[in-house]
Amino acid sequence: MDLIRDAIRETFLLLLQGDSEIWSITLRTLIICGCSTIVSFIVGASAGFCLAVLPFRGRGVLVTFANTGMGMPPVIAGLLVAVLLWRSGPLGGLNLIYTPVAMIISQCVIAIPLVAAITAGSFMSLPESLFLQIRSLGAGRKDTLFLLAYEARLGLMVAMMAGFGAVISEVGAAMMVGGNLAGDTRVLTTATVLLVSKGEFGRALAYGIVLLAMVFIVALVLTSVQNLARKRV
């Protein structure tokens, strides 16, 4: 208990005293995870919409792939991206390994199937007659997309929350392709792992509390928006 009490006290001290390290790691975590979430959502939601709405051969197989991807271990995603971006790998010339961009790519590999599968499920749960009715009104593809997205907005918000949850909590891939470089690719999860390995449990717990608080605040905002939308349904 002392350890936890000390950690909470240390967290407040670090934050209130303006500890530059914790603030910079927190900010970096937010930027990297925010970028990953946005990219994952744009790509994943678009893919999910196509999987749900467009008739094409092999759609069922792709839906199965997306569903399988929901359970992809972050370490595997990290390994794949590391192999691609490694100096001698196919994309080694881009010099992205051990950079925040590499971390964003690996986090997107983890989150995109998740977002795509949840989005596809949300659109598929809309009645077929809604799709037909919108088309009968004369809507083109863009109008159809926006009208259906509005109808599936609760599911889309769940997809975004799931994507954010996946990228902010993963550590294996971030460590593997980011390298946990201080001041560059060190984020809250990788920093926590490092501190624990050094036996600095107090500061590690402080980082953990900040991470939890961040997830809580984001979840709170999205849940509030979701509840607001649900009340209007």
Partner 1 sequence: MSGTDTALSMSEIVVHRSGQRVLSFESFDLARGESVAIIGANGSGKSSFLLAASLLIPSTEGEIFYFGTKISRSNRREFRRLSSISFQDPVLLDRTVIDNLKIAMDLRNFEKTEVHSEAYSWLERLGVERLALKKPHELSGGERQRVSLARAFALQPAILMLDEPFTAIDPVDKRSISRDLHDLINENELSSIVVTHDISEAVVLASKIVVLIDGFIHQDGTMKDVLNRPKSVNVAKLIGHTVLGNDDARESLRISVPSSSSHELISFPTSAISLRANPKGRGQITRYESAVGGIVAIVRLAGVEIPSDISAHQVMSLDFAVGQYVDVIFDQSKLVHLSN
Structure tokens at 215: 């997830």
139 contributes a contact to partner 1 by CB under 8 A: yes
Q: Any contact of residue 232 with partner 1 (CB under 8 A)? A: yes
Alpha carbon distance 88, 65 (integer Å): 29
Residue 230: Cβ within 10 Å count: 12
Under rule CB under 8 A, residue 137 binds partner 1: yes
b or e along 120-157 (b: 16 or more beta carbons within 10 Å of the residue's beta carbon)? bbbbeebeeeebeebeeeebeeeebbebbbebbbebbb
The structure tokens 């891939």 sit at: 173
- Cβ atoms of 67 and 120 within 8 Å: the answer is no
CA 213/CA 215 separation, integer angstroms: 6
Binding partner 1 (rule: CB under 8 A), the pick from 86, 135, 179, 200 is 135
User: Looking at beta carbons only, is 64 or 133 nearer to partner 1?
Assistant: 133
Residue choice 64, 133, 224, 227 for contact with partner 1 (CB under 8 A): 133
Q: Which residue reads 């009340």 in tokens? A: 231
Question: CB 123 → partner 1: shortest distance, Å?
Answer: 14
Residue 57 lies near partner 1 (rule: CB under 8 A): no
Is 125 among the residues that bind partner 1 (CB under 8 A)? Answer: no
- Among the residue ranges 30-38, 117-125, 139-147, 155-163, the one whose residues contact partner 1 (CB under 8 A): 139-147
Site for partner 1 contains 230 (CB under 8 A)? no
- Which has the closest alpha carbon to 32: 94, 80, 103? 103
The single residue among 62, 147, 214, 215 that binds partner 1, judged by CB under 8 A, is 147
Stretch that binds partner 1, among 23-31, 127-135, 166-174, 199-207 (CB under 8 A): 127-135
The least CB distance from residue 154 to partner 1, in Å, is 10
Pick the binder of partner 1 from 57, 136, 199, 228 (CB under 8 A).
136
CB atoms within 10 A of CB 225: 14
138 sits near partner 1 (criterion: CB under 8 A): yes
The CB-of-151 to partner 1 minimum distance in angstroms stands at 6
Q: Candidates 150, 216, 217, 224: give the one binding partner 1 (CB under 8 A).
A: 150
Number of residues that bind partner 1 (CB under 8 A): 18
Give the residue carrying structure tokens 């690996």: 106
* Strand, coil or helix: 186: coil
Q: Given the rule CB under 8 A, which residues bind partner 1?
A: 127, 129-130, 132-140, 143, 147, 150-151, 232-233
